[in-house]
Structure 1
Amino acid sequence: MPSLITATPLEGRMLAITIVRKTIGTIQRDSEAKHRIRKIYAEDPMMLMRAVELVSMEFKIIAEANNYWRK
């Protein structure tokens, strides 16, 4: 990822999702394990909320870098 700077808040949100996905992919390299876990969290609202929290944290950093709240 070369930069946190994005043209729009929507691009920033998409970047946040990408960062979280790539982080998880880096930590868990076993694709079969990832597929097994997906089946579990697809049915578990608390695990899905945890994923949303991670994206929110990344988006906050991106928003600060882009000064979204001051525009």
Structure 2
Amino acid sequence: MLDKTQLIPENTLITNSPEEGRALAVKIARLTIKITQPNAEIRDQLRPVYANDAAMLIAIGQTVALEFSTISKANNYWR
């Protein structure tokens, strides 16, 4: 990985609440996309494609849900 992007912000999955956990899940998913396609211009060109494709939007939601599941487990489901 040439980019020095930190894939786990602050190197922790621990959050104070489920809301913070969900925000972290979204951020991690976005960082994954950034690392996968590091060229910002190409990402900008692709945005209208996935923004109008229901299957791609569902896939994005599934990615965030998977990240959130991992974060929830790491936080002992905020118990």
Q: Could you give the per-residue CA deviations for residues 14-48 of structure 1, whole angstroms, max 9, x where no partner exists?
A: 00000010111011011111011101011111100
Task: Find 1:4's aligned residue among 13, 33, 58.
Answer: 13
Distance 2:21 2:66 in 1: 12
> Residue in 1 aligned with 2:25?
16
Runs (4+) off by over 2 Å: none
Q: Which runs of 5+ in 1 are unaligned?
A: none
Q: Which runs of 5+ in 2 are unaligned?
A: 1-8
Superposition TM-score, scaled by structure 2 size: 0.84
Q: Hey, which of these two has a bigger chunk of helix by percent?
A: 1
Identity %: 43
Query: Which amino acid letter does the alignment assign opposite residue 22 of structure 2?
Result: R
Which protein, 1 or 2, shows the higher relative CO under an 8 Å CA cutoff with sep ≥ 6?
1
Aligned length: 70
Superposition TM-score, scaled by structure 1 size: 0.92
